[in-house]
Amino acid sequence: MAAFSVARRSRGLINGLKVSFRSSGQLKHGAVAAPLLQTSLHRDSRWYSAGHLSVKERIEAKRRAALAGGGQARIDAQHKRGKLTARERIDLLLDTDSFVETDMFVEHRCSDFGMEQDKNKVTHLPEVIFYFFNIIFCLCLFCFSQDFTVFGGSLSGAHAQKICKIMDQAMKVGAPVIGLNDSGGARIQEGVESLAGYADIFLRNVMASGVIPQISLIMGPCAGGAVYSPALTDFTFMVKDTSYLFITGPDVVKSVTNEDVTQEELGGAKTHTSVSGVAHHAFENDVDALLNLREFFTFLPLSNQDPAPIRECHDPSDRLVRSLETIVPLESTKAYDMLEIIKAIVDEKDFFEIMPNYAKNIVVGFARMNGRTVGIVGNQPKVASDEYVVLTPPPPFCCLDINSSVKGARFVRFCDAFNIPIITFVDVPGFLPGTAQEYGGIIRHGAKLLFAFAEATVPKITIITRKAYGGAYDVMSSKHLRGDVNYAWPTAEVAVMGAKGAVQIIFRGKDNQAEAEAEYVEKFANPFPAAVRGFVDDIIEPSTTRKLICSNLEVLARKKQVNPWKKHANIPL
C-alpha cells in the first residue's frame, strides 16, 4: 500500500507542481519533496492527471483526518484530563515549524473484534505521531508521541513498527530519541502482533543504549509490557497526577495479593520518584514537563561520538565563590546543604537535578562549567539515609546506602557513556551499617558505584569538602580509581574511620581514650595525610573551586583513556 501510493503520488505531484506549492501551508508536516527529481516522468497524459486529482484529494483527506487525531470529542476529553494532545505536545517540545513528520499514512492492520468497522468509521488514523529530523535549539533528534485519542494510544503492530523505524534512523545518524508515552498498553485485539511490537522496541532500546541518549516522558498510563521500554531508556520522566507506570493495575493487584491500592499509590509519579526510583524526575503538568525536557535536552550530546556540548557562558569561569569559605560548619557533626555548594559553583546556578526525591543522601544531576556540560555527583550531608529516619537520635550526616549507590552508579555510567565529565563532591563517613543494608546486599550494590567510577574514562574531578572515610573514600572517585584531579578543602578529613571508633580499636582497653582521641583528630582529621601521599593533588581555598574546576576541564577535554578490549564488562548487577 505504501509503495503504491508513493509511486502515484510522485507522478501526480510533478504534474501539479503549482498546486503542491499553493497548498504547501497545509503540507508542512509532509515529506514529499523528493519526487521532484524524477523529471523523466514529466510528460504526462490527461488520464494520469485525472487520477492524480482523485489521489490528491485522498491525500488531503487523510492528512486532515490524521491531524484531527481521534476527533474533537476525544481531544476535549484529553484536555479535560489535564493532558495535551500528541500534536500539542510536539509543538511545545520542538522548535517552531522545525519538524518533519513521516508515516502519517500508516494504519493498523487488524480486522478482528469490530476493529475493521471502527477503522472505517474514523477512517485511518496515525496512532503515533513520529517526527523525523526534529529540532530542539537547532539540534536534531528523533521523537515519537503516542496519541491517546486514537484507540487509547494502545500499541498495535503498525504502531510499534513506526517507533522501530525512527529508532533505526536515529541509530543510523546518531541522534537522540525522545518518546512521549501515553498509551493504554498492548492492543489486545491484535494479540501476539502487539507483543512482538513491544519486543522489537525493547531490542532497539537495548541496542541504542550507550550509543544515543534515549529519554522517555510518561504523559499518561503506561502499563504491562509497555513499562519496559521506558525502563530501558536512559531517563524516565513523569507528569504528576496524570501518568502511571506499573506492571499490573490496581484491579489485578487486588485479585492476586488482595491489596487495596490506587493507581496513584501503585505507580504514580510520587511513587516512582521517591519510593521505587524508577523515574528520574516528575513535573507539575504537561507544559512544565515538555519545557523542562527541552531544557534538559540542551545538556546532552547527540550521541556517544559527540563531545559534551558547550554553550556560551555568561558566568565568569574565574569567579571566586566567597560564600563557600564558611559553608562547611566548624563542628564536624553539623549538617550543611551540598546543593548550595553545587549551585554556587556551576554556571549561573543552573543545576538540573536527577532523582531529587529518591535516595536524597546523594545528589546527582547535570550542570555546566564555563558552558561545558558536566555531571555532578555529591554526597548530601543534609539528608540522612532513608533508613536513618527511624533511628533516634538520627546520625548527623549521611552514609552511602543501597539506594544512593545504585542511583549514583547509573548516573556515572550515563556520563561516561556520553563523554560528560564527572565532578564529585565528597563528604561521606562510610557505608551505612546494619542488617537491613547487609541483607539487602549493600556489598553488591555499593560495588556498582565503585565499578562505575573505576571504569569511567571521562575527565573526573573530585573535591573532598569534609569527610572521606573508609571504603566510601575509595569509592567516591578517588585518585586510586583514576581520578584526574583530586582536591581537598581545608575542612577535609581523610581517614579510615571517625576518631571515636578508631581510638576504640587502636587503644582497646586503655584508659586515656579521650587523650588518644584528641591525638587521632590532630593526626587524621585534616587533609594532610592524603596530601603528603599525593592522594589529593592540592588543598585548595573553597572560594577558588569554580576557577580551578573550569581550568582543569579545559585541559582535560583532551583526555583520551581506553579500557582494555572486552565484549562488555560484568558489573555486579
Partner 1 sequence: MINLLICFSSQTFDKILIANRGEIACRVIKTCKKMGIQTVAVHSDVDSSAVHVKMADEAVCVGSAPTSKSYLNMDAIMDAIRVTGAQAVHPGYGFLSENKDFAKRLAAEGVTFIGPDTHAILAMGDKIESKLIAKAAKVNTIPGFDGVVKTAEEAVKIAQDIGYPVMIKASAGGGGKGMRIAWNDEETREGFRFSSQEAESSFGDDRLLIEKYIDNPRHIEIQVLADKHGNALWLNERECSIQRRNQKVVEEAPSTFLDQDTRQAMGEQAVQLAKAVQYSSAGTVEFLVDSKKNFYFLEMNTRLQVEHPITECITGLDLVEQMIRVAKGYRLQHKQEDIPINGWAIESRIYAEDPYKSFGLPSIGRLSEYQEPLNLKNVSVRVDSGIEEGSDISIYYDPMISKLVTYGATRGEALARMEDALDNYVIRGVTHNISLLREIITHPRFISGDISTNFLPEVYPDGFKGHQLEAGKRRELLASAAALYVTVQLRSQKAPLLPPSCLFHKGACLTRDASGKINLQYLGTMVSLVLSKLAAQLNSYMPEKVPEDTSSILRSPMPGTVVAMSVKPGDTVAEGQEICVIEAMKMQNSLTAVKQAKVKSVQCKPGETVGEGDLLVELE
Helical pair 46-68 and 2-15, crossing angle rounded to 10 deg: 120
| Residue 382 binds to partner 1 (criterion: CB under 8 A) | no
Distances (CA, A) of 323 to 149, 316, 362, 527, 544: 52, 16, 22, 21, 11
CA angle, 418 as apex, 414 and 423 as ends, to 5°? 65
C-alpha distances (whole Å) from 522 to each of 246, 331, 463, 529 are: 54, 15, 21, 11
Q: Is 330 in the site for partner 1 (CB under 8 A)?
A: yes
| 140 is a site residue for partner 1 (CB under 8 A) | no
Buried b (16+ CB within 10 A) or exposed e, 144-164: bbbbbbbbbbbbbbbbbbbbe
Q: Is 49 in the site for partner 1 (CB under 8 A)?
A: no
C-beta of residue 357 within 8 angstroms of C-beta of residue 343: no
DSSP string, 179-228: EEE---SB-GGGTHHHHHHHHHHHHHHHHHTTTS-EEEEE-SEEEGGGGH
Candidates 116-124, 191-199, 247-255, 306-314 — which segment interacts with partner 1 by CB under 8 A?
306-314
Long-range Cβ pairs for the range 51-54 (8 Å, 24+): 51/8, 51/12, 52/8, 52/11, 52/12, 52/13, 52/15, 52/16, 53/12, 53/16
> Which candidate, 255, 62, 70, places its Cα nearest to that of 146?
70
Q: Are 222 and 245 in contact (CB under 8 A)?
A: yes
The Cβ of residue 32 has, within 10 Å, a number of other Cβ atoms equal to 14
As measured in angstroms, the least distance from the Cβ of 359 to partner 1 is 22
C-beta of 96 vs 258, nearer to partner 1: 96
The span of 21-29, 217-225, 288-296, 460-468 binding partner 1 (CB under 8 A) equals 288-296
Q: Minimum Å distance from CB 295 to partner 1?
A: 3
For partner 1, give the closer residue by CB, 299 or 469. 299
Which residue among the candidates 51, 249, 471, 501 is catalytic per the annotation?
471
Cell of residue 486, nine digits: 583530586
User: According to CB under 8 A, which residues from 233 to 272 bind partner 1?
Assistant: 241
Query: Does residue number 283 form part of the binding site for partner 1 (CB under 8 A)?
Result: yes
Catalytic entry in 86, 160, 472, 531 = 472
Q: Is 84 in the site for partner 1 (CB under 8 A)?
A: yes
Output 393 or 564, the one with its CB closest to partner 1: 393
Mark the segment that binds partner 1 (CB under 8 A) among 82-90, 465-473, 484-492, 509-517: 82-90
Residues 6 or more apart in contact with residue 322 via CB below 8 angstroms: 543
Nearer to partner 1, 186 or 341 (CB): 341
138 touches partner 1 (CB under 8 A): yes
* 340 makes contact with partner 1 (CB under 8 A): yes
Helices (H), 124-176: 157-173
Site residues (CB under 8 A) for partner 1, limited to 108-137? 137
Q: Which of 238, 344, 362, 428 binds partner 1 (CB under 8 A)?
A: 344
Q: All 3 cell numbers of residue 30?
A: 509532509
Q: Does 314 bind partner 1 (CB under 8 A)?
A: yes
Which helix (DSSP H) or strand (DSSP E) does residue 486 occupy? strand 485-488
Q: Which three cell numbers stand for residue 473?
A: 573514600
Q: Let me know if 179 is a catalytic residue.
A: no
The answer to whether residue 298 forms part of the interface with partner 1 (CB under 8 A) is yes
**224 carries an active-site annotation:** yes
Does 92 help bind partner 1 (rule: CB under 8 A)? yes
Q: Phi first, then psi: what are they for 487, rounded to 5°?
A: -115, 155
Residue among 153, 184, 197, 224 flagged as catalytic: 224
The closest alpha carbon to 472, from 495, 441, 444, 501, belongs to 495
Pairing outcome for strands 352-354 and 362-369: antiparallel
Does position 294 interact with partner 1 (CB under 8 A)? The reply is yes
Contact between 291 and partner 1 by CB under 8 A: the answer reads yes
State the minimum distance, in angstroms, from the CB of residue 335 to partner 1: 12
247 bridge partner residues = none
Active-site annotation holds for 472:
yes
Interacting stretch for partner 1, rule CB under 8 A, among 18-26, 277-285, 458-466, 546-554? 277-285
- Crossing angle for the helix pair 157-173 and 192-208, to the nearest 10 degrees: 10
Rank residues 138 and 573 by Cβ distance to partner 1 and give the closer one. 138
Window of 16-24, 91-99, 188-196, 390-398 that interacts with partner 1 by CB under 8 A: 91-99
From candidates 286, 387, 401, 493, binder to partner 1 by CB under 8 A: 286
Of the candidates 23, 53, 65, 91, which one interacts with partner 1 according to CB under 8 A?
A: 91
Judged by CB under 8 A, which of 28, 79, 510, 533 binds partner 1?
79
Residue type, 402: I
Give the binding site for partner 1 (CB under 8 A): 79, 82-84, 88, 91-92, 96, 137-138, 241, 283-288, 291-292, 294-296, 298, 311-312, 314, 322-327, 330, 340, 343-344, 349, 352
Q: Which residues are catalytic?
A: 224-225, 471-472
